[in-house]
Amino acid sequence: MNFSGALLGIGNALLDITATVDEDFLAKHKIGLNEAVKGDADTQRQLLEDLASCADVRRSAGGSGLNVLRAAQWVLGSGDVCTFIGCIGDDENGRTLLRAGEAAGLQLACQIVDCPTSTCVVLVTGTQRSMHSLQNASGKFSFHRFLEPPTQEIFALAEVVYLSGFFLNVCTTTAEYVAKAATDAGKRFVLDLGAPRVVRGQAATIKKLLPFTDVVFGNDAEFAALGEILDLEGASPEDVGRYVAASPKTPSGTDRTVVITYGKDPVVVVRTGGDVTRFPVPPVAPEDIVDVNGAGDAFLGGFLSRYLNRAPLPECVASGLSMSALVIRRAGCTFA
């Protein structure tokens, strides 16, 4: 299954700007510890000015969807197996992302617009990280351009189509089209919930997408939010996973897999039929943890690299855990 373009990811491409700061810096900018903020240009400009004196500011490819595909391609090795579709600006930050994708062995089929590339300031405090994202070009994704022949040819090649939940804040029309078109073409469709605020803010779209999903991925907080929008008051994340796994699927008679991560606690996998498996997370010594930013993305990338080839679930999860353990020992979502 490792042919060119077999794994297609659709999401937001951002340039990550990462720096280590203390809690006083966070307080000054009114950013909570481990908080993700969708900010404005003036606030981010001030952040970058205040970070100018930091010696360890690092710029790297980012955005959850792009991170997932970079991780998957790293596990798969050579061969341009993974293709990413998003939207970037016609600027140096956009060209940095293109170079990073090429260096990772990815095929990037990004729409390019006359707008600054989206950025995310990642503030690392101890083992925690806070993020201030500014959506510029990534929010200009065009459904009409997605329907043009070059992109449709890329879509036709894919065996597995992965959609980042964060993309739902950009173009729900594309998301709904992709879910149905992938299913109609016999492809496997994977949905990453993204974040609790995405789940709550895009409740109507997520409900439309769920019937088409072959895999639903998220952490415990995201599944708790999913339970809220599905009117499962008081349900645990695992209970919500059971409900989703058993929910009607298009086409009928096919299985669904639900993957729930709990940080350092065991990963829970629920299959259609109610089978639940728990996979322990190998411990990492606290002194070895550098940055947990991107751990979930790396896990999903590792998982998908094996899922693409229809590997047994334990092998898929093991690959995901191996990637997340690698990433948290490094600064940013990097692998080598």
Positions marked catalytic: 297
Kind and range of the H or E run holding 240: helix 237-246
CA distance 228 to 124: 30
- Cα-only R_g, the chain: 19
Neighbouring residues of 149: CB distance < 8 A, sequence distance ≥ 6: none
The CA distances from residue 30 to 16, 39, 47, 266, 292, in Å, are 20, 11, 11, 33, 21
Token pair of 180 as six digits: 């149905």
Question: Is the four-CA dihedral 306, 307, 311, 317 of positive or negative sign?
Answer: positive
If you search the block for the tokens 């009928």, which residue do you land on?
252
Neighbouring residues of 160: CB distance < 8 A, sequence distance ≥ 6: 6, 7, 8, 187, 188, 189, 190, 304, 307, 308
